[in-house]
Amino acid sequence: MRRERALELIDTQSGGDVSRIVTAGIEPLPGRTVLEKARYLQAEGDGLRRLLLSEPYGDPAMSVDLIVEPGNPEAQAGYIIMEAMGYPMYSGSNTICVATALLESGMIEMTEGLQKIVLESPAGLAHITARNADGHVESITTQGEPAYVAERGLGVEVPDYGRVEFDLVWSGAYFAMIRSADHDFELTADEQIALTAFGDAFVRTARPGLRQEHPSLGDVGPLPFVHFMGRVRTMENGAVESRSATYVHPGVICRSPTGTGTSARLALMAGQGDLGPGDTLETISPRGNRFLGTVVGDTTVGDYPAWHSTITASARLMARSRVTVDLDDPLVDVSDLEQLLSP
């Protein structure tokens, strides 16, 4: 008899970035908060991430979100985010996908019109407004933890690329913020291979010595993201937009502009006085997908001036499936997976 287990999945996408949401098939994780559950999963059950982001089950360009019980009574659900780089504390596109999936699947009861829900990520609470019509979620606006500029004016000599200057911004993870024009990138679709190569070389060079601590979350791991910032353009109607690209280490250029990348950009611009409360920036990925970021107001994180912001975008459900995991398949690494799977 083969040893088989099953996972219930909802596949979604926002801005072209695919989030595979695990809704059933995993045993309850130890821990009171979602952060504690995420750290347990990272230390003791990383096989789930590897399984669903690797061939033959998945692709490293995707994300995986595991629905868990929240620790905060304000939240209706919790979710742990898994990507090629590991376990980000927060993600805008993943939050948009998770909220849409929970509402459209009925795991959270949907109401017509504007509906407010609260989800718990490892970083804390995400306050979400869904715009619903005819049983579908038309858009999600999410406000996660505030972003702050950790260090400005950094630089590193990258082999084959020369000196690269950047700012380090926290927005659910640390982002190295790089001006694309400094390196002759226009952030178009035909540059994605070159952007990936640049991002890979930069992260491998820049990681040593960069901070890995967050004032309240503690050790958040080595630098995972690079956000390439295009020129800011003011349109005839007064709207402000900018091309952007986010590199996820190792080897992924996001299809969307990314919510956390956009929030990091907003914090950087607000800190420079270029944006204020109520101002918006629409970011455009190399594939032409758009997210709308809005500055909400200022705050502090530890000793850092910080900025609250919201990200607005939509997500689409692509599939609902029941995946069979054959524990005797030599391509399945069961070393820290079998204990997680429900019998």
Q: pLDDT of 283-294, one tens digit each?
A: 999 999 999 999
* Residue 91 among the catalytic residues: yes
What's the pLDDT tens digit per position in 232-261?
999 888 789 999 999 999 999 999 999 999
pLDDT for residue 312: 98
Task: Return d(Cα 19, Cα 48) in angstroms, integer.
Answer: 14
β-bridge partners, 66: 22, 80
**Beta strand 162-170 pairing with 290-301:** unpaired
Could you give the residue range(s) of every CATH 3.10.310.10 domain in the chain?
4-144+317-326, 147-313
pLDDT at 228 over 90: yes
The CATH number, out of the four listed (3.10.310.10, 3.60.20.10, 3.40.50.300, 3.40.50.720), of the domain defined by the range 147-313: 3.10.310.10
pLDDT beyond 90 at 77: yes
Whole-number average pLDDT of the chain: 96
Whether 320 shows a pLDDT value over 80: the answer reads yes
Helix axis angle for 92-104 and 259-271, nearest 10°, is 130
Rg (CA), the chain: 19
State what percent of residues in the chain have pLDDT above 90. 93
List, in order, residues 6 or more apart from 83 with CB less than 8 Å away.
53, 63, 64, 91, 224, 248
Please compute the mean of the pLDDT values over residues 120-143 and round it to a whole number. 97
**Poorest-confidence range of 59-63, 67-71, 72-76, 130-134?**
59-63
14, 63, 91, 242: the catalytic one is 91
Model confidence at 71: pLDDT above 90: yes
Query: What predicted TM-score, i.e. pTM, was given to this entire model?
Result: 0.95
Which two tokens mark 153?
Answer: 């004016």
Q: Is residue 209's pLDDT more than 90?
A: no
Domain 4-144+317-326 has CATH 3.40.1350.10: no
Q: What is the pLDDT of residue 2?
A: 77
Q: Of the candidates 48, 41, 15, which has an alpha carbon nearest to the alpha carbon of residue 337?
A: 48
Residue 1: is its pLDDT beyond 80?
no
In sequence order, the 6+-apart residues with CB closer than 8 A to the CB of 268 are: 149, 167, 169, 177
Look at residue 235 in the predicted model and tell me its pLDDT: 86
Rounded Cα–Cα distance for residues 21 and 78 (Å): 12
**pLDDT band at 184; cut points 50, 70, 90:** very high
| pLDDT digit string, tens, across residues 304-317 | 999 999 999 999 99
Residue 39 has pLDDT above 90, yes or no: yes
For residue 334, the model assigns a pLDDT of 86
The answer to whether 89 and 253 have CB atoms below 8 angstroms apart is: no
Residue-level pLDDT at 335: 86
CA distance 51 to 323: 11
